[in-house]
Amino acid sequence: MKQIRSLIIIVIIACVAGISCTKNERMIYSELEKIYFSQYNSTMDSLNYSLIASPEVDTVKLSVKLLGNKLTESKKFKLSVIGSLTDAVEGTHYKTLEEFYEFPVGQFIYELPIIVYKTDESLNEKTVTLAVKLEDTGDLKTAYEDRIKVRIILSNMFSPPVGDGYYGNMTQFIKLFGEYSRVKHQKIIELAGHDFQADPLNQYGNNPFYKENFHLYFDYSYYVPFARILYQYFKENEVLDENGNIIGLWDVP
């Protein structure tokens, strides 16, 4: 009889423990359904977006990543404007954000679209900033405090490549296209159909530091054919740069 009682107690304890474990597992799974910006953090929180090669209406995409397992049903999340960090004007520089966005089923990354406009002529002379932040909702919460904000810096100006180290963008530009000029830069955009920030080969993944500083090194082979076409163009045509100087030839790769 004593053995039977002991066996019953063991069974009850096992059942309670099983129920407790199941609850905890459910709680952990629920807690893991969180989102964050995969490409940005508190030390690299900005996206410089040139509108030079864009149509009047363009789309900036921000990669929102899901922490945990893929969703079995779509869930809503919210994106808000950080007023204290934003000088871009709603309706002039960007379209009003949606009330909610939906993270889709079966994916770990959602490319969140933000509609931007280049029609404001002041963008030819200055940059404006749209700062946005992921917000908790009843469906999805944010994962990391330092990965929920992004500053989108818009302009319609030429942004010369920067970085004179071995891997730097200006170093690679000179190897490909010779001495920099805005006129030459414009021709490159016309040939390629986009500015340098477009990341045509996606060689540097989700790291905005590499995008900002070393993208021409990673995309060097992509631009070689354009460099040769451009060389031939300037060989056959006398073209002045923005300072009135003839654009000369260079050692093309």
**Which token pair is 189?**
């955009």
CA-based diameter of the chain, in Å? 106
Q: Would you say 101 and 79 are in contact if contact means Cβ atoms under 8 Å apart? A: yes
Amino acid at 126: K
Q: Would you say 213 and 186 are in contact if contact means Cβ atoms under 8 Å apart? A: no
The β-bridge partners of 62 are 112
Q: What's the mean pLDDT in 46-52?
A: 85
Radius of gyration of the chain (CA): 26
pLDDT in tens, 172-222: 999 999 999 989 998 998 888 778 765 565 555 556 666 667 788 888 999
* The 3-state secondary structure of 158-214, one letter per residue: CCCCCCCCCCCHHHHHHHHHCCCCHHHHHHHHHHHCCCHHHCCCCCCCCCHHHHHHH
Note the pLDDT of residue 226.
Answer: 95
Q: Please tell me the distance from the alpha carbon of residue 149 to that of residue 84, in angstroms, as a whole number.
A: 13
pTM: 0.70
Note the pLDDT of residue 200.
Answer: 60
Q: What's the mean pLDDT in 66-93?
A: 95
Between 56 and 48, the more confident residue is 56
Note the pLDDT of residue 25.
Answer: 40
**Which token pair is 92?**
């002039």
Q: Quick one: pLDDT band at residue 161, thresholds 50, 70, 90?
A: confident
